[in-house]
Amino acid sequence: MMSDLQHYWSLLESTQQQQCPEFLEHLRGQIGEEGRAAVIQFQDGTKPSVKNLRNSRALERFLNIAQPTGSVRRRIFVLEGLPRNFIQVLGAKLRVPLAFFASHWAGPGRFIGSLLNRTPRHYDNQNRFILTFTTLHRARINALKEDDSYPFYYMESSTHRYLSRMTIFGDLDGPLCSLEQLSFWSTSNAESWDAIPLVDPPLGKFVKWMDSRIPERLTVTFL
Protein backbone atom coordinates (compact mmCIF):
# COMPACT_ATOMS: atom_id res chain seq x y z
CA MET A 1 0.00 0.00 0.00
CA MET A 2 1.30 3.46 -0.92
CA SER A 3 2.32 5.62 2.07
CA ASP A 4 1.01 9.17 2.45
CA LEU A 5 4.46 10.53 1.48
CA GLN A 6 4.57 8.39 -1.66
CA HIS A 7 1.01 9.40 -2.49
CA TYR A 8 1.90 13.11 -2.23
CA TRP A 9 4.91 12.60 -4.51
CA SER A 10 2.74 10.76 -7.01
CA LEU A 11 0.27 13.65 -7.02
CA LEU A 12 3.11 16.14 -7.51
CA GLU A 13 4.34 14.23 -10.55
CA SER A 14 0.91 13.86 -12.10
CA THR A 15 -0.19 17.49 -11.60
CA GLN A 16 3.02 19.52 -12.02
CA GLN A 17 4.88 17.66 -14.78
CA GLN A 18 3.37 19.66 -17.61
CA GLN A 19 3.65 23.10 -16.02
CA CYS A 20 6.91 22.73 -14.07
CA PRO A 21 9.00 19.90 -15.58
CA GLU A 22 12.30 21.49 -14.46
CA PHE A 23 11.06 21.59 -10.87
CA LEU A 24 10.29 17.86 -10.84
CA GLU A 25 13.52 17.03 -12.64
CA HIS A 26 15.42 18.90 -9.95
CA LEU A 27 13.63 17.03 -7.15
CA ARG A 28 14.28 13.65 -8.80
CA GLY A 29 17.98 14.47 -9.05
CA GLN A 30 18.47 15.18 -5.36
CA ILE A 31 20.68 12.73 -3.49
CA GLY A 32 20.40 12.40 0.28
CA GLU A 33 19.10 15.14 2.54
CA GLU A 34 19.19 18.74 1.37
CA GLY A 35 17.86 21.95 2.85
CA ARG A 36 17.17 23.08 6.39
CA ALA A 37 14.00 23.38 8.44
CA ALA A 38 12.84 24.55 11.85
CA VAL A 39 9.53 24.81 13.69
CA ILE A 40 8.42 27.69 15.92
CA GLN A 41 5.63 26.85 18.35
CA PHE A 42 3.38 29.39 20.04
CA GLN A 43 1.45 28.80 23.26
CA ASP A 44 -0.58 31.18 25.39
CA GLY A 45 1.32 32.56 28.37
CA THR A 46 4.76 31.33 27.29
CA LYS A 47 7.53 32.44 24.95
CA PRO A 48 7.66 30.87 21.48
CA SER A 49 9.87 27.78 21.30
CA VAL A 50 12.17 26.97 18.37
CA LYS A 51 13.21 23.47 17.33
CA ASN A 52 15.72 22.80 14.55
CA LEU A 53 14.74 19.84 12.37
CA ARG A 54 18.02 18.43 11.11
CA ASN A 55 16.47 16.14 8.50
CA SER A 56 13.13 15.04 7.12
CA ARG A 57 12.97 12.09 9.51
CA ALA A 58 13.08 14.48 12.47
CA LEU A 59 10.31 16.51 10.85
CA GLU A 60 8.17 13.41 10.30
CA ARG A 61 8.67 12.26 13.90
CA PHE A 62 7.64 15.70 15.14
CA LEU A 63 4.48 15.74 13.03
CA ASN A 64 3.56 12.21 14.10
CA ILE A 65 3.50 13.10 17.81
CA ALA A 66 -0.04 12.51 19.03
CA GLN A 67 -1.81 15.66 20.22
CA PRO A 68 -4.29 15.62 23.14
CA THR A 69 -7.92 15.96 22.09
CA GLY A 70 -8.93 19.60 21.94
CA SER A 71 -5.36 20.92 22.14
CA VAL A 72 -4.49 24.12 20.27
CA ARG A 73 -1.59 24.01 17.77
CA ARG A 74 0.05 27.19 16.53
CA ARG A 75 3.15 26.37 14.51
CA ILE A 76 5.38 27.94 11.88
CA PHE A 77 7.51 25.57 9.79
CA VAL A 78 10.38 27.51 8.20
CA LEU A 79 11.79 25.69 5.16
CA GLU A 80 14.93 26.76 3.29
CA GLY A 81 15.18 25.79 -0.35
CA LEU A 82 13.24 23.03 -2.10
CA PRO A 83 14.43 19.74 -0.59
CA ARG A 84 12.34 16.82 -1.84
CA ASN A 85 12.23 14.87 1.44
CA PHE A 86 11.03 17.88 3.44
CA ILE A 87 8.49 18.75 0.73
CA GLN A 88 7.01 15.26 0.83
CA VAL A 89 6.66 15.26 4.62
CA LEU A 90 5.22 18.76 4.95
CA GLY A 91 3.00 18.33 1.90
CA ALA A 92 1.55 15.02 3.02
CA LYS A 93 1.16 15.77 6.73
CA LEU A 94 -0.19 19.33 6.41
CA ARG A 95 -1.99 18.84 3.07
CA VAL A 96 -0.11 21.66 1.39
CA PRO A 97 -1.48 22.59 -2.08
CA LEU A 98 0.54 20.84 -4.77
CA ALA A 99 1.33 24.05 -6.66
CA PHE A 100 2.79 25.84 -3.62
CA PHE A 101 6.32 24.40 -3.89
CA ALA A 102 6.34 24.43 -7.70
CA SER A 103 5.41 28.12 -7.79
CA HIS A 104 8.45 28.92 -5.64
CA TRP A 105 10.72 27.23 -8.18
CA ALA A 106 9.14 29.18 -11.05
CA GLY A 107 9.56 32.46 -9.20
CA PRO A 108 11.81 35.47 -9.72
CA GLY A 109 14.60 35.79 -12.22
CA ARG A 110 13.22 33.47 -14.87
CA PHE A 111 13.31 36.37 -17.31
CA ILE A 112 16.22 38.79 -17.25
CA GLY A 113 14.03 41.68 -18.37
CA SER A 114 12.07 41.48 -15.12
CA LEU A 115 15.03 41.99 -12.79
CA LEU A 116 13.93 45.59 -12.26
CA ASN A 117 10.48 47.02 -11.56
CA ARG A 118 9.08 43.68 -10.43
CA THR A 119 6.10 43.79 -8.10
CA PRO A 120 5.20 41.11 -5.54
CA ARG A 121 2.58 38.59 -6.61
CA HIS A 122 -0.28 38.10 -4.17
CA TYR A 123 -2.87 35.39 -3.81
CA ASP A 124 -4.93 35.43 -0.62
CA ASN A 125 -3.03 37.80 1.67
CA GLN A 126 -3.98 35.75 4.73
CA ASN A 127 -3.50 32.17 3.56
CA ARG A 128 -1.03 32.35 0.67
CA PHE A 129 1.21 34.98 -0.85
CA ILE A 130 4.58 35.47 -2.54
CA LEU A 131 7.04 38.31 -1.97
CA THR A 132 9.96 39.00 -4.29
CA PHE A 133 12.86 41.21 -3.30
CA THR A 134 16.41 42.11 -4.28
CA THR A 135 19.37 41.02 -2.15
CA LEU A 136 22.85 42.54 -2.39
CA HIS A 137 25.86 40.35 -1.57
CA ARG A 138 29.24 41.65 -0.42
CA ALA A 139 31.15 39.12 -2.48
CA ARG A 140 33.00 38.70 -5.76
CA ILE A 141 33.13 35.88 -8.29
CA ASN A 142 36.58 34.48 -8.99
CA ALA A 143 36.33 34.26 -12.77
CA LEU A 144 39.12 34.14 -15.31
CA LYS A 145 40.30 37.56 -16.39
CA GLU A 146 38.92 37.19 -19.92
CA ASP A 147 35.54 36.11 -18.49
CA ASP A 148 35.39 38.74 -15.77
CA SER A 149 32.87 40.87 -17.63
CA TYR A 150 30.22 38.13 -17.81
CA PRO A 151 27.24 39.60 -15.89
CA PHE A 152 24.86 36.70 -15.17
CA TYR A 153 25.26 33.50 -13.15
CA TYR A 154 23.22 30.90 -11.29
CA MET A 155 23.38 30.71 -7.51
CA GLU A 156 24.20 27.05 -6.87
CA SER A 157 21.26 26.11 -4.68
CA SER A 158 18.03 24.15 -4.77
CA THR A 159 16.17 27.14 -6.22
CA HIS A 160 18.64 28.14 -8.99
CA ARG A 161 18.23 31.89 -8.62
CA TYR A 162 19.97 34.23 -11.02
CA LEU A 163 22.92 36.23 -9.73
CA SER A 164 23.87 39.44 -11.49
CA ARG A 165 27.06 41.51 -11.46
CA MET A 166 25.35 44.41 -13.20
CA THR A 167 24.38 47.50 -11.24
CA ILE A 168 21.46 49.73 -12.08
CA PHE A 169 23.86 52.01 -14.01
CA GLY A 170 25.24 49.19 -16.15
CA ASP A 171 28.61 48.92 -14.40
CA LEU A 172 30.10 45.58 -13.43
CA ASP A 173 32.08 46.66 -10.37
CA GLY A 174 29.17 46.88 -7.94
CA PRO A 175 27.96 44.28 -5.42
CA LEU A 176 26.46 41.00 -6.55
CA CYS A 177 22.70 41.16 -6.84
CA SER A 178 20.06 38.42 -6.75
CA LEU A 179 16.28 38.51 -7.00
CA GLU A 180 14.91 36.20 -4.33
CA GLN A 181 11.56 35.07 -3.05
CA LEU A 182 9.57 34.26 0.06
CA SER A 183 6.51 32.05 -0.39
CA PHE A 184 3.94 31.77 2.40
CA TRP A 185 1.09 29.32 2.98
CA SER A 186 -1.07 28.70 6.04
CA THR A 187 -4.06 26.69 7.17
CA SER A 188 -6.28 27.07 10.22
CA ASN A 189 -8.91 25.14 12.12
CA ALA A 190 -10.71 26.97 14.94
CA GLU A 191 -7.90 28.30 17.19
CA SER A 192 -5.20 26.07 15.70
CA TRP A 193 -3.07 27.02 12.71
CA ASP A 194 0.02 25.94 10.80
CA ALA A 195 2.09 28.12 8.48
CA ILE A 196 5.01 27.56 6.10
CA PRO A 197 7.33 30.40 5.05
CA LEU A 198 9.51 29.02 2.25
CA VAL A 199 12.75 30.97 1.78
CA ASP A 200 15.67 30.84 -0.63
CA PRO A 201 19.05 29.51 0.56
CA PRO A 202 21.84 32.07 1.08
CA LEU A 203 24.60 32.60 -1.45
CA GLY A 204 27.07 29.73 -1.14
CA LYS A 205 30.71 29.21 -2.08
CA PHE A 206 30.05 28.35 -5.73
CA VAL A 207 28.11 29.75 -8.69
CA LYS A 208 27.56 28.52 -12.23
CA TRP A 209 27.55 30.23 -15.59
CA MET A 210 24.04 31.03 -16.73
CA ASP A 211 25.05 29.70 -20.15
CA SER A 212 24.31 25.96 -19.81
CA ARG A 213 27.03 25.16 -22.38
CA ILE A 214 29.70 26.22 -19.85
CA PRO A 215 29.74 23.61 -17.04
CA GLU A 216 32.47 25.13 -14.87
CA ARG A 217 31.77 26.05 -11.26
CA LEU A 218 33.26 29.34 -10.07
CA THR A 219 34.20 30.09 -6.49
CA VAL A 220 32.85 33.05 -4.53
CA THR A 221 34.92 35.17 -2.15
CA PHE A 222 32.99 37.02 0.57
CA LEU A 223 34.23 40.52 1.38
For residues 208 and 217, give the distance between their C-alpha atoms in angstroms, rounded to a whole number.
5
- Predicted TM-score (pTM) of the model is 0.83
Q: Which pLDDT score is estimated for 193?
A: 95
pLDDT in tens, 157-194: 777 788 877 655 655 566 788 888 899 999 999 899 99
End-to-end CA distance of the chain: 53
For residues 162 and 155, give the distance between their C-alpha atoms in angstroms, rounded to a whole number.
6
Q: Which pLDDT score is estimated for 61?
A: 95
Q: Is the pLDDT of residue 37 over 80?
A: yes
If one compares 121 and 82, the residue with the highest pLDDT of the two is 82
Superfamily of domain 4-222: CorA soluble domain-like (3.30.460.20)
What percentage of the chain carries pLDDT values higher than 70? 79
Q: How many other CB atoms sit within 10 Å of the CB of residue 84?
A: 22
Domain boundaries, the chain: 4-222
For residues 31 and 29, give the distance between their C-alpha atoms in angstroms, rounded to a whole number.
6
Q: Which pLDDT score is estimated for 119?
A: 47
Cβ-proximal residues to 42 (8 Å cutoff; 6+ apart), any chain: 48, 74, 75, 76
Cβ-proximal residues to 63 (8 Å cutoff; 6+ apart), any chain: 89, 93, 94
